[in-house]
């Protein structure tokens, strides 16, 4: 068994009957770079290893050797299991005002935007609850199109109002207010992740579970596992992504839609790990669960998770093909289904548009990559997403391989300015 990546790459290439020039053509890298890899004069990136695995049909053998690029499994910032975050819980005083229990560890970004409010003497009837529901839906719609920094503060203030009113309410009104509060906490977690604060994202997700338990909602604990899996996915932690998403699918009390979201996330985790067969199985399972969800009567509770109205399973397939080292196939799938994302869903358009540009770039379709960048960059700047910024940085590195190409020379300054304008970089 060859001991180094270079020796293994050479052995796999020879076994496949490919010359170095032919492999270079298939992965869109220069032959001299492959020569340096085979002679262990350069260390490969995980992306490069996946491209070679796909070209040589080696089933992830080469990607598995790039251990230094595989992040060690990290402890979930929210803790372990369903009791995660219990030392961080937010309480209400007897008068209904917000307080922090002794020993609470609020995320660094939290206390600056938290103010104590009281619901003393306020009665939340059906009309008030309906208005609060409409307000939350408007915040979610706003979050599709603007920076998370513009949404997070108002959403947390909205959550405070719901908690304070719930402290004064009884019966079904209290249950409805707590349910709305749990959804607001979950959304605050997502916006925190988009703002680049994974610790705050986990903290708010833990609050969502607590509030959901109080409101007798069976869905939120399972969905919290999906959220934690998504955080792990963006950290490139395939093991935790697969495990957490798998756990979310085991509880049949959870709705088919939430389990479908979990299966979709599991598929992306398998793609990150280089397991194409497991990825396909998980996507098929997600399709079955989403079909079952579509056949159910609509729920009156606010929807958990995001939905752009597009064919999100096909978009997830495109994303997964890229992570499996198949950029040309990924670009074709994303090209086909990006048009289904409504113009108002800027966050989704930016996320998958930049992924499409990455796929074109990695496949050597440089002109097409630059065209997609120009069509997508305004959305990416407006939503100011930390997760999309990571793909933008990767795109800069990919296009640097064609730094003398006219389209790249015109596009790279736009990319760099976009990165500079986002989060003050």
Tell me whether residue 59 is exposed, middle or buried, using C-beta atoms within 10 angstroms of its C-beta: 0 to 12, 13 to 18, 19 or more.
middle
Count of alpha carbons within 13 angstroms of residue 304, beta-carbon side: 29
Q: Identify the pLDDT of residue 75.
A: 44
Look at residue 424 in the predicted model and tell me its pLDDT: 47
What are the pLDDT digits (tens) for 245-256?
999 999 888 899
All structural domains of the chain, each given as residue ranges with its CATH number in brackets, are 5-69 (1.10.260.40), 81-217 (no CATH), 325-421 (no CATH)
Tokens standing for residue 374: 């120009």
Q: What pLDDT band is residue 76 in, cutting at 50, 70 and 90?
A: very low
List pLDDT tens digits, range 332-345. 999 988 888 888 88
**Average model confidence (pLDDT) across the chain:** 82
pLDDT at position 368 over 90: yes
Q: What is the mean pLDDT of residues 211-224?
A: 85
Cα separation of 41 and 34, whole Å? 10
Mean pLDDT of 107-132: 60
Residue-level pLDDT at 154: 92
Tell me what pLDDT residue 102 has: 33
CB atoms closer than 10 angstroms to residue 104: 15
pLDDT tens, residue by residue, 379-397 = 999 998 888 999 999 999 9
Our CA dihedral for 187, 193, 197, 203, rounded to 10 degrees, sits at 40
381 within 8 A of 419, measured Cβ to Cβ: no
Is the pLDDT at 259 greater than 80, yes or no?
yes
SS (H, E, C) 387-418: HHHHHHHHHHHHHHHHCCCHHHHHHHHHHHHH
């Amino acid at each position: 068994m060859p001991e180094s990546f270079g020796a293994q790459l050479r052995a796999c290439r020879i076994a496949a009957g490919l010359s170095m020039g032919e492999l270079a053509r298939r992965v869109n890298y220069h032959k001299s770079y492959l020569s340096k890899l085979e002679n262990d004069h350069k260390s490969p990136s995980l992306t490069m290893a996946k491209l070679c695995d796909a070209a040589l049909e080696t089933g992830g053998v080469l990607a598995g050797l790039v251990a230094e690029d595989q992040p060690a499994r990290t402890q979930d910032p929210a803790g372990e299991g369903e009791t995660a975050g219990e030392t961080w819980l937010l309480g209400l005083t007897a008068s209904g005002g917000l307080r922090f229990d002794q020993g609470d560890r609020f995320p660094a970004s939290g206390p600056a935007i938290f103010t104590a409010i009281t619901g003393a003497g306020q009665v939340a009837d059906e009309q008030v609850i309906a208005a609060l529901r409409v307000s939350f839906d408007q915040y979610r719609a706003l979050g599709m199109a603007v920076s998370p920094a513009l949404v997070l503060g108002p959403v947390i203030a909205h959550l405070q109002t719901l908690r304070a009113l719930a402290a004064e309410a009884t019966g079904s009104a209290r249950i409805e207010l707590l349910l709305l509060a749990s959804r607001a906490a979950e959304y605050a977690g997502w916006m925190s992740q988009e703002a680049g604060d994974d610790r705050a994202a986990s903290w708010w997700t833990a609050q969502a579970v607590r509030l959901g338990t109080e409101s007798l909602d069976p869905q939120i604990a399972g969905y919290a596992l999906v959220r934690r899996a998504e955080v792990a996915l963006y950290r490139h932690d395939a093991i935790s992504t697969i495990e957490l998403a798998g756990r979310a699918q085991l509880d049949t009390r959870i709705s088919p839609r939430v389990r479908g979201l979990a299966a979709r996330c599991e598929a992306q985790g398998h793609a990150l790990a280089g397991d194409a067969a497991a990825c396909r199985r998980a996507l098929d399972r997600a399709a079955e669960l989403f079909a079952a969800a579509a056949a159910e009567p609509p729920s009156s509770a606010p929807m958990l998770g995001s939905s752009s109205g597009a064919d999100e399973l096909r978009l997830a397939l495109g994303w997964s093909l890229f992570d499996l080292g198949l950029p040309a196939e990924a670009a074709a799938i994303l090209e086909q289904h990006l048009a289904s994302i409504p113009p108002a869903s800027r966050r989704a358009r930016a996320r998958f548009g930049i992924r499409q540009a990455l796929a074109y770039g990695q496949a050597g379709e440089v002109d097409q990559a630059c065209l997609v960048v120009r069509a997508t960059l305004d959305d990416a700047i407006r939503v100011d997403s930390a997760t999309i910024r990571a793909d933008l940085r990767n795109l800069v590195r990919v296009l640097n391989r064609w730094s003398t190409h006219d389209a790249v020379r015109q596009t790279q300054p736009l990319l760099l300015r976009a990165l500079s304008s986002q989060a003050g970089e």
